[in-house]
Amino acid sequence: MNLLTATITAFVVWAIASAIAALVAGPYVASLVMVVGSLFVYVVVAIKLRTKSAEAFYVAERRIPALVNGAATAADWMSAASFLSMAGAIALSGYDAMPFIIGWTLGYTLMAFTVAPFIRRSETYTIPEFIEARAGGWGVARLVAVIMVFIVSLVYLTAQLVGVGVVFGRFLGIAATIAVFIGAISALVNAWTGGWRSITWVQFIQYWVMISMYWLPVIIAAAALGLFNPFPHFAYGDLIREIEAREAQYGLTPWTEPFARPFGGGTGPLNWILGAVVLMLGTMGLPHILIRFYTVKDVKSARLSVGWALTFIGLLYVTASIYAAIARYSFSALWGKPIEEVMKTPWVEKWLPTGLISIRDTNGDGILQPGELSFHGDIVVVGMPDMFGMAWFIAPLVAMGGLAAAISTADGLLLAMSTAITRDVYKRFINPRVTEAGEVLLARILVTIIAFIAGFLGYLALSDPTFSRYVALIVGWAFVFAASSFTPAIILGVFWKRLNRYGIVAGMIAGMLVAAPYVIAVGAMGMPPLEIAGQKIGTVAWGIFGFLTNLVVSIAVSLATRPEGKEVMEFVDKMRLPEIRK
């Protein structure tokens, strides 16, 4: 049985099992079968692609087609946060949430031209291995890079597993603290069986699941509001004007007013611009995304895969703003109504117990005012089926999409960290003569250990609201840390030959020392942010200072110490030279 046949068979079995459950046991059990059963499909694909080869485990034998790699990269990128919270951020902050979309999409565009081709041309297996090669084979540089991989990746992974818990808890009533381990085991199986070979194809399938389930409810809602002209993406401007007309009646700041709301804990145009730039730079330095370019066959495929990834990611990002507008329109339609009537609205009545909606009659007049209704960003996507009274099976389909988003990102993070230990530490420093089978076995053992460590951290996050709040903050800082560590080292490593081993290591450490204390002090400990020209600099925007510190220290230290030898110069030249296709 080939891969296509196995995948179709698994989906057919899933559909039949879901239909039987709906007929025999009702919507609740059927929803459970639909969501949990989707994991079965991914496991079937992963097992079908199991491998014992180190090259297949680490770089998928460098044979992944560009389109497949692009979709897999998009799935790897679009985590539970993007799927569940992107639209919510726009609904809450309007124009001031745009740095997320601008920074991330521009980051991928620049990656296609400045990073991806050279990473693939280096013919290394991991980002720490690339860093060591550029540092003239100095092992210290590789070890520092491994530490940076873990700083960026571990809490990011924990958040994805928390996202799995949230999906199960909100949609199916399963305890989130238990569901988090379901996510850990699912991600573990996908990564354990065949490394990057298996999870790339699994993520390819997960992308189409998540994007289909993301579009489904918003298309139904847009149709109900008459927004097809010919597509809602071109017609929701009238909806925004109606929202802002309602806001004007209550003397509210227009939703699209620039710089009217905080971003990343900061305020003003400077914070907004720097935040977008940091997200762009951080995108270019995420290790679990950069490693993707090792899995394609050549430089041209690396460029194409970034283009496909940007296209596929764009399908979600251009739709997030429609979600936001429809949700804000639905909430604003409740203003001015008797609170008793609002409380009896079916979808409000359903979601009030979750805490995602809060209603308080502050002035005691019994009429709902805008300031008396608040909502959590996550309800924008997960609550859309209920807002428009959609069929019961739409909600579990949306849950499937959120689950696919969380698991796909968890897969990539698991492998990024496990390979950082096996190839970059164990094989490089402890046992260089390890057999290929032994190396893959160790990688699988480490994937298991890391998965359950992250699952336990997710359990703690869901058990303790305070811990959960800090994990969420740190995940937002992943881009700050990536921009402050890997991005300058990679850019300078490709385009400036004078960069040497001491500059690479000093720059990464200095950048992280500037970034980490500020985001911890301001974001976690509640210290007031610094102000520049009267504008507060938030934790995301602060990443620009980590990036610039890394850049300046790398250049200064490199110029003050001896340059690298001929071998490194040849390595750089090889990366830069056009690939000759046979």
- Written as one string, the DSSP assignment of 62-119 is G---HHHHHHHHHHHHS-HHHHHHHHHHHHHHGGGGHHHHHHHHHHHHHHHHHTHHHH
pLDDT value at residue 473: 56
| Whether residue 468 has pLDDT greater than 70 | no
Per-residue pLDDT band at 54 (split at 50, 70, 90) = confident
User: Among 346, 312, 354, 57, which residue's Cα sits nearest to residue 209?
Assistant: 312
Mean pLDDT of 473-502: 90
Mean pLDDT of 380-398: 90
Query: Both tokens of residue 441?
Result: 């076995």
d(CA 19, CA 267): 51
Backbone angles phi, psi at 122, to 5 degrees: -70, -25
Q: For the whole model, what pTM was predicted?
A: 0.89
Q: What is the pLDDT of residues 159-194, one digit of tens each?
A: 777 777 766 666 666 677 787 887 788 788 777 776
pLDDT value at residue 280: 93
Enumerate long-range contacts of 54-59, CB under 8 Å, 24 or more apart: 54/436, 54/439, 54/440, 56/194, 56/195, 56/196, 56/197, 57/194, 57/195, 57/196, 57/197, 57/440, 57/443, 58/125, 58/126, 58/195, 58/196, 58/294, 58/419, 58/423, 59/125, 59/196, 59/294, 59/295
Range with lowest mean pLDDT among 199-213, 367-381, 451-465: 451-465
Range with lowest mean pLDDT among 352-361, 443-452, 469-478, 487-496: 469-478
Pairing of strands 535-536, 531-532: antiparallel
Query: What are the residues facing 375 on neighbouring strands?
Result: 357
pLDDT value at residue 465: 56
Mean pLDDT of 380-408: 88
Range with lowest mean pLDDT among 50-59, 212-221, 426-435, 568-577: 50-59
Range with lowest mean pLDDT among 38-42, 59-63, 71-75: 59-63
CA–chain centroid gap for 230, Å, is: 31
Query: Both tokens of residue 345?
Result: 């609205």
Spatial contact of 239 and 227, defined as CB atoms under 8 Å apart: yes
Q: Which helix (H) or strand (E) holds 420?
A: helix 394-421
Residue 572 or 379, more confident: 572
Spatial contact of 119 and 286, defined as CB atoms under 8 Å apart: no
| Whether residue 46 has pLDDT greater than 60 | yes
pLDDT value at residue 12: 94
Q: Which helix (H) or strand (E) holds 194?
A: helix 176-224
The whole-chain average pLDDT of the chain stands at: 88
Among 302-311, 377-386, 467-476, 499-508, the range of highest mean pLDDT: 499-508
| Whether residue 550 has pLDDT greater than 60 | yes
pLDDT value at residue 559: 98
Mean pLDDT of 247-254: 92
Distances 258 to 124, 268, 269, 270 between C-alpha atoms, Å? 44, 9, 8, 12
pLDDT value at residue 301: 87
Query: Both tokens of residue 223?
Result: 């149709």
pLDDT value at residue 22: 94
Distances 296 to 258, 282, 345, 580 between C-alpha atoms, Å? 41, 22, 52, 16
pLDDT value at residue 300: 84
Mean pLDDT of 467-472: 50
Q: What is the pLDDT of residues 327-343, one digit of tens each?
A: 999 999 999 999 999 99
Q: Is the dihedral of CA 563, 565, 569, 574 positive or negative?
A: negative
Q: What is the pLDDT of residues 93-145, one digit of tens each?
A: 899 989 988 988 888 888 877 888 888 888 888 899 999 999 999 999 999 99
SS3 per-residue string spanning 479-544: HHHHHHHHHHHHHHHHHCCCCCHHHHHHHHHHHHHHHHHHHHHHHHCCCCCCEECCEECCCCCCHH
Contacts of 379 (CB under 8 A, 6+ apart): 88, 327, 351, 354, 356, 357
Q: Which helix (H) or strand (E) holds 375?
A: strand 373-375
Q: Is the dihedral of CA 408, 410, 416, 422 positive or negative?
A: negative
